[in-house]
Amino acid sequence: MQYSRIAALCIWTLAFAASVSSAAAPAYDHYVHLTPENSVVGNFPSQKAPILTIKSGETVRIDTGGGNRWQDKDPMEWMKENQITFTPAQAEAVKETERVLKEAKRYADIATGHLLVGPIAVEGAMPGDTLEIRIISVTPRIPYGTVSDRPGRGGIPDDVKEPFSQIVRLDLKRNVGIYQPGIEVPLGPFMGVMGLLPPDSEGPNRKSGPPGTFGGNLDCKELVAGTSLFLPVYHTGGLFFTGDAHAGQGDGEVTVSAIETANTAVLKFIVHKGMKLTAPRAESATHWMAFGLDPDLNKAMQMAIRETNVYLNELQGLDFSHAFTLSSIGVDFHVTQVVDDTKGIHSMIPKKIFVKNKPAPFWYAPAH
């Protein structure tokens, strides 16, 4: 078990303030380092013992890996060849990813896939409950990311004739990714994979690629700092995994990759007893979100609409007809991603439209 209890308040600077004000730095109760023992690659192994057990309401800092495109080269030499400047701490983060990829135990002969950290168990979480993951902060650990495509994958798989990879340099001070000189994209760091151990019906070593009702590889760009993700619990302790670190992404993630990097995430875990969900939900200071997931994008849309109708009934007491018609005029439906076999749609329900029955204050209030 690789973690340490933080005895005093740990103050450290937030590099990104896109979704959380940098005026208040996050504290945490536990620190999970990126090590081979704390990591898995490509799946959610049910036989892996928890790397950490925490109480509901506690906060964990988690170092994750990724961003590698070194092929057979030494990663330090690769970064120098590509004129990527880095600090000693950033170099160590890259080396941690290298060690994990070489030494982490593989389960069920799955050799490649998402680099994940976990599982983390939360005391009191039981099947039939919901685990809320409050995303306190997400900060890139390395100065670059990569975006790529390859034949047979992505939103237009038959159009891709050869593999391609582009380095995106991260300008942390200006909060932009430099795709090329003169082309910059805003950064919104988030974890592509945040999920609980899938139900037994999914098998003991369920691959991490497709998302599911347990969360997992949702690849939702809205799940940045200042947001809560709500997941149904299927096993004692919940058993949380995270990885697939992104510095930014467009809705759809059409090539099968975002700005793939390595992040540090600070997450708070809260058990909601008896709160039963049939699919992931999320909430920010400005929106509620419901998810639809299916290999058929049309069916994913239908699921997202139905989940939104149920959510509106619970939140505002709207019956089917009123929830459905309100969704048509006041709710946006976004294509989360189209590349994970199981595709995603998420709705964005704006809180501001409820001027009478106003929502309760959210745990995070953005700075104005």
pLDDT tens digit sequence for 219-235? 999 999 999 999 999 99
- Identify whether residues 315 and 241 lie together within a single domain: no
Confidence class for position 22, pLDDT limits 50, 70, 90:
very low
Q: Find the mean pLDDT for residues 261-275.
A: 97
pLDDT for 368 equals 65
pLDDT reported for residue 33: 98
Domain boundary among 226, 242, 272: 272
pLDDT tier at 121, thresholds 50, 70, 90: very high
Domain of 207: which CATH number? Answer: 2.60.120.580
Is the pLDDT at 84 greater than 50? The verdict is yes
Q: Is the pLDDT of residue 11 over 60?
A: no
Output the pLDDT for position 352.
97
Q: Are residues 222 and 163 in the same domain?
A: yes
The mean pLDDT value of the chain amounts to 92
Which letter, b or e, does each residue of 321-352 get, where b requires 16 or more Cβ atoms within 10 Å of its Cβ?
eebbebbeeebebbbbbbbbebbbbbbbbebe
In a domain, 365, yes or no: no
Looking at residue 111, its pLDDT comes to 78
Residues 41 and 121 occupy one common structural domain: yes
Q: Is the pLDDT at 9 greater than 50, yes or no?
A: no
* Out of 30-39, 66-75, 337-346, least confident range: 66-75
Q: What is the pLDDT of residue 71?
A: 80
119 cis-preceded (ω within 30 degrees of 0): yes
Q: Provide the pLDDT confidence category of residue 24 given band limits of 50, 70 and 90.
A: low
Q: Could you read off the pLDDT of 241-255 as tens digits, one per residue?
A: 999 999 999 999 999
Share of the chain above pLDDT 90, in %: 87
Domain-located, residue 358 = no
Query: Taking a C-beta distance cutoff of 8 angstroms, is the pair 62, 92 a contact?
Result: no
Q: What is the pLDDT of residue 1?
A: 41
In a shared domain, residues 285 and 265: no
Residues in the chain: 368
Q: CA 247, 250, 252, 256: dihedral to nearest 10 degrees? A: -40
Q: Is residue 366 part of a domain?
A: no
Residue 25's pLDDT is what? 63
97 and 12 in a common domain = yes
Domain-located, residue 265? yes
pLDDT at residue 210 is higher than 80: yes
Give residue for tokens 């009934």: 313
Q: Is 287 left (phi over 0), alpha (psi -120 to 50) or beta?
A: beta
**Confidence label for 92 from pLDDT (cuts 50, 70 and 90):** very high
Question: What phi and psi, each to the nearest 5 degrees, are found at residue 251?
Answer: -55, 135
Determine the structural domain holding residue 334 and report its residue range.
Answer: 281-353
Same domain membership, residue 211 and residue 175:
yes
User: Is the same domain home to 299 and 266?
Assistant: no
Same domain, 139 and 256: yes
Q: Is residue 159 part of a domain?
A: yes
According to DSSP, the residues that pair with 185 across neighbouring strands are 177
Residue 213 Rama label (left phi>0; alpha psi -120 to 50; beta): alpha
Whole-number Å distance between alpha carbons of 19 and 233: 27
364: in domain: no
In a domain, residue 116? The reply is yes
- Are residues 304 and 244 part of one domain? no
- pLDDT at position 36, please? 98
Per residue in 304-343, pLDDT (tens digit) is 999 999 999 999 999 999 999 999 999 999 999 999 999 9
Strand partners, 89: none
> Is residue 19 assigned to a domain?
yes
In a 10 Å sphere around its CB, with 0-12 CB exposed, 13-18 middle and 19+ buried, how is residue 83 labelled? exposed
Specify whether the CB–CB gap between 342 and 293 falls below 8 A.
yes
Number of compact structural domains in the chain: 2
308 and 212 within one domain: no
Tell me what pLDDT residue 367 has. 77
What CATH number corresponds to the domain at position 340? 3.10.28.20
Q: Is the pLDDT of residue 83 over 90?
A: yes
Phi/psi zone of residue 151: left (φ > 0), alpha (ψ -120 to 50 degrees), beta?
Answer: beta
**Shared-domain flag, residues 183 and 52:** yes
At residue 4 the predicted structure's pLDDT band, cuts being 50, 70 and 90, is very low
For residues 183 and 326, membership in a common domain is answered with: no
pLDDT of residue 26: 83
Residue 146 has pLDDT above 70, yes or no: yes
258, 264, 270, 274: CA torsion to nearest 10: 30
Q: How large is the average pLDDT for residues 49-63? A: 98
For residue 315, give the H/E element and its range: helix 297-316
The last residue of one of the domains, among 216, 251, 272, is 272
Name beta bridge partners: 320: none
pLDDT tens digits, one per residue of 332-345: 999 999 999 999 99
pLDDT for the residue numbered 19: 38
Percent of the chain with pLDDT over 70: 93
- The residues, any chain, with a CB within 8 Å of residue 141's CB and separated by 6 or more, are 63, 64, 89, 90, 93, 261, 262, 263, 264
Beta-carbon contacts of 80 under 8 Å, excluding residues fewer than 6 positions away, are none
